[in-house]
Structure formats: C-alpha cells, structure tokens
Amino acid sequence: MNYIFLLGGKDLEMVEIKKMLEEEGKNVLDKDLSWGAKLSDYQKELKELDRNCTVVGIELQGDIDVKNDYIEVDHHNENINKESSIEQIADLLGIELTRYQKMVSENDKGYIDALKDFGANQEEIEEIRRADRKNQGVSEEDEKLAEESLRENKEGVGGVIIVKSKTDKFSPICDRLYPTDKLIVYTDNELNYYGQKAQKLGEKYKTEYGKDKVYYGGGEDGYFGFSNGALDSEEIQEKVREVVEFVGEGDH
C-alpha cells in the first residue's frame, strides 16, 4: 500500500512514531506541530498529493475533507476506546513494538499509573516522563516556573488541588504532584483537569463547546481540557468552579 503519513502534535509518542515510520522507509510529512494540530495544517501538501496514495493522519483534527483515501489514527475524544496511536501504526504496518515503545504507548494512554501496571520500574518511568516533557517543548525555564507555581499558586478546594500555572506547559506540574486524583491546572488562556470523572466532564463540555475547543483522553479518570484560547480568563475561572462542584467532596 502506498501510504503518506501526516504527523500531529509533537510529544514522545509522536516522536517514536516518526522514528518507526522512517526506519520502515515510509513517506512522512512533519510540520513540528503542537497539541490541537489539524488536517488543514497540511492543506497545501494535500492538494499536491498523487490521488493513488492513502493518507494516514495521526492525531489531526479532521477539519477539512481529503480527496485521497484517508485513515484516521487517534485515541482521544470519540476515539478514546481505541489503541494508542503508536499501536495503531504498528498494527497497520505489521510491526512488533519494542519494550520502550510499549512504555511510550502506556504513558500516552494512561500516564504513570499505566506505566506501573505495565511493570516499568522507577528509573524507566522517570526516563519516559522526562523524554515526554522534553518532546512537548518543556524547557528548563518551564520546569522552574512549575516549581514556582506550586510554591505560590497551589490551593485545595473540596478535595481538588488547583494550581494557576506560570507556564503554559502543564506536565511538569502534574509530574511533581503525582499521585493526585483530582487536579486542575490553568492559566488565563487554558484549563486542564486530571483525575476522577475526567471523561464525563470532557464529554459534557465537548457537547457544549464542540471538539475544536475540548479534548479528553486517558480513560474514564484520565484528563480533559479546553484548548488554548477557547475561553477567556473569566470563563476559565467559572469552569474551575464548575469542575470543583462536579468532582469535589460531597459531589453527586
């Protein structure tokens, strides 16, 4: 089969997918995109493609039509019950994942809990988490700002930990607070929630705001978030209150 692979937002899983595809000699287009990447980011390239090739879009929001045969690879939102993207690509190509790739997959599907269930040791978990943060673009400055945020902007309300972040990279905050079962991290431009009932919240807000503005994954108690710029700072404060009410102590 003549495939062309379009890569979505960069994280450790996407980096490993790219390595796998290049090792197999596959045709890969990578625009070094971040979370929230869309098919339209490749609009120019799609127009120029040979009609006989099959396009494989990996974690790209389907905001435009594709003239070629198209395969969507994703495991977020409505695809939450599918295998991880790296597993789907391995299945498509008939490849067996290495132990490291399997850990990358588990990390992407279920974070540190999934890595522990897989049998990863502490050293392996720390290695995977460091690599994931780095590939998401987390800098040393972001790591410092995460520590500052935790010292200065962390509070607990109704059993929920709430952190106003000084960086738009939330993973160094989450990793430092693990394990938590109810965590909100936000800035004036975006909000993420991690923990109990995350999928329910994601489904609820996706119905209200649409899939362009809301994403979720990681299973029933995984995470959900509003995309950067989907809400203004006042609306974000309102959502913090709503999430606390939905999941906090004494919830329904």
**Mean of the per-residue pLDDT values for the chain?**
94
Residue 36 confidence (pLDDT): 83
The amino acid that residue 190 corresponds to is: E
Sign of the torsion formed by the C-alpha atoms of 13, 210, 113 and 160: positive
At 50, is the pLDDT very low, low, confident or very high (cuts 50, 70, 90)? Answer: confident
Longest dimension (CA), the chain: 58
All domains in the chain, ordered by first residue: 3-98 (3.40.50), 142-247 (3.10.310.30)
Task: Extract the tokens encoding 64.
Answer: 């435009």
Q: Angle at the Cα of 82 (from 116 to 20), degrees rounded to 5?
A: 75
pTM of the model: 0.87
What's the average model confidence in pLDDT over 129-155?
Answer: 97
The SS3 call for residue 171 is helix
Q: What is the pLDDT of residues 211-245, one digit of tens each?
A: 889 999 988 999 999 988 999 999 999 999 999 99
Q: Residue 252 above 50 pLDDT?
A: no
